[in-house]
Amino acid sequence: MKVLILSCSTGEGHNYAGKALQECIRLHGDEADMLDIMLLAGKRVSRFVGGGYVSIVKHAPRFFHFLYRLGGVVSSSHRKSPVYYANAMLAKPLKRYLEEHHYDVIATPHLFPAETLTYMKHKKMLSHKVVAIETDYTCIPFWEETDCDYYIIPHKELKEEFAARGLPAHRLKPYGIPVRQAFSAPRVPKAARQMCKIPENAHVYLIMSGSMGFGKIQLFVAELLRRIQPDEYIIVICGANKKLYHILTGEFGRSANVRIVGYTEHIAAYMDACDVLYTKPGGLTSTEAAVKGIPIVHTTPIPGCETRNREFFSVRGLSVTSDKFYGQIAAGQSLLRAPDRCEAMRTAQSAAVPGDAALKTYRLLRRICRKSGGEI
């Protein structure tokens, strides 16, 4: 079996869901390629779409919220939006790509490729089956105008919401959000702390800035540092944000209780090493942490899907949160000093957030290929 995974670089969550599926497919001896669909229109287009989206989210969150709410109003299963027709422009280059590269089935963790594939399907330009993967704990606008063969959704309790928005109920598979094996592997805190060079007996707060930013992270770190005990430790992961890394290193680099980390491939190890995680409620990071069994404090969301993610987690006891800056800090400190609450949260996470979504999705792809006779 050979799978094409189509994504789009509007934030890293979609890509990491795709990479998790790719990893699982390859581990089982099958083939999987992953492609940013916007690259079919050129690198400039890919950078423009990805960079423009992230820029709006980071620097104009209220405008993003307006667009998100507007999308919720205008999107419909009965008509197509400008978003649909914009993505339809990639149909011809994608058709050429598929003619040049043989694949048995297609998966996509992103709306934009799903729109393109839907257009191709309706224009008789596509013979492949398509499996879409939802990476937020809500049905975001415009998914209802897609026509994929199956939709992997994060939880069975969301089936009603997705169906109400127009997605056929029989196509919804509540497998969860795929995460890489490093996150579903059992926690080994001692080994992780040795690898990450963290004192073995320290109590550790991990702050994930995320690809979309974190908000007022300098003030957050400064206030948390002011409150911590001598045996408590703060790790901040800046990711690919080099500017943030240099700013935080300049401000906190001399503190013995703070570690500033740039881009790293060892997020799972840092999660293993921490006691409490502060993160925005992105669907992927929240899922990875919950699968790991990490007590989560959700910070201020980007208005839109992250608001719904935070709501999903907090009402089920999978995370704690506060609308206020200082309340978020206090919530993490309270968790750190309440082992029983942390254990209760881990139990809730284990029950609600599966770690085998990638495997279940892989098995679905295999069944699709066997049924269609397309397997190599």
Give per-residue pLDDT as tens, 33-69. Answer: 999 998 887 666 656 454 554 554 454 555 444 454 5
Please tell me the predicted confidence (pLDDT) of residue 376: 34
Phi, psi of 297 (to 5 degrees): -115, 115
pLDDT at 371 over 90: no
- Kind of pairing, strands 320-321 and 296-298? parallel
Please tell me the predicted confidence (pLDDT) of residue 54: 52
Q: What are the residue ranges of CATH 3.40.50.2000 in the chain? A: 2-179+355-372, 186-352
pTM, two decimal places? 0.90
CATH topology of domain 186-352: Rossmann fold (3.40.50)
Element (H, E) at 36: strand 31-36
pLDDT at 362 over 90: yes
CB 118 within 8 A of CB 148: yes
What single-letter DSSP state applies at residue 145? G
* Pairwise CA distance, residues 306 & 281, whole Å: 5
Please tell me the predicted confidence (pLDDT) of residue 85: 84
CATH topology of domain 2-179+355-372: Rossmann fold (3.40.50)
DSSP 159-225: HHHHHHTT--GGGEE-------HHHHSPP-HHHHHHHTT--TT-EEEEEE--TT--SSHHHHHHHHH
Mean local confidence (pLDDT), 100-118: 96
* Pairwise CA distance, residues 130 & 106, whole Å: 5
The predicted-structure confidence for 1-24, as pLDDT tens digits, reads as follows 999 999 987 667 889 999 999 999
pLDDT at 91 over 90: yes
Q: Percent of the chain scored above 70 by pLDDT?
A: 86
* Pairwise CA distance, residues 271 & 348, whole Å: 18
Element (H, E) at 151: strand 150-152
Please tell me the predicted confidence (pLDDT) of residue 198: 87
pLDDT, averaged across the chain: 89
The predicted-structure confidence for 248-305, as pLDDT tens digits, reads as follows 999 998 899 999 999 999 999 999 999 999 999 999 999 999 999 999 999 988 788 8
Please tell me the predicted confidence (pLDDT) of residue 131: 98
Comparing 3-17, 91-105, 109-123, 219-233, the range with the smallest average pLDDT is 3-17
pLDDT at 111 over 60: yes
The predicted-structure confidence for 320-354, as pLDDT tens digits, reads as follows 999 988 999 999 999 999 999 999 999 999 999 99
Please tell me the predicted confidence (pLDDT) of residue 375: 40
- Kind of pairing, strands 2-7 and 105-108? parallel
SS3 of 320, please? strand
Between the CA of residue 349 and those of 138, 279, 290, 308, 362, what are the distances in Å? 18, 16, 5, 17, 23
Residue 230, token pair as written in the block = 């001598």
CB 353 within 8 A of CB 287: yes
What does the angle CA 313 – CA 317 – CA 318 come to, to the nearest 5 degrees? 50
Please tell me the predicted confidence (pLDDT) of residue 125: 97
- Torsion over CA: 214, 215, 218, 223 (sign): negative
Mean local confidence (pLDDT), 230-242: 91
* Pairwise CA distance, residues 239 & 213, whole Å: 10
The predicted-structure confidence for 170-215, as pLDDT tens digits, reads as follows 999 999 999 999 999 988 888 999 988 888 889 999 999 865 456 6
Higher-pLDDT residue of 88, 45 = 88
* Pairwise CA distance, residues 230 & 243, whole Å: 29
Mean local confidence (pLDDT), 67-87: 66
Please tell me the predicted confidence (pLDDT) of residue 209: 82
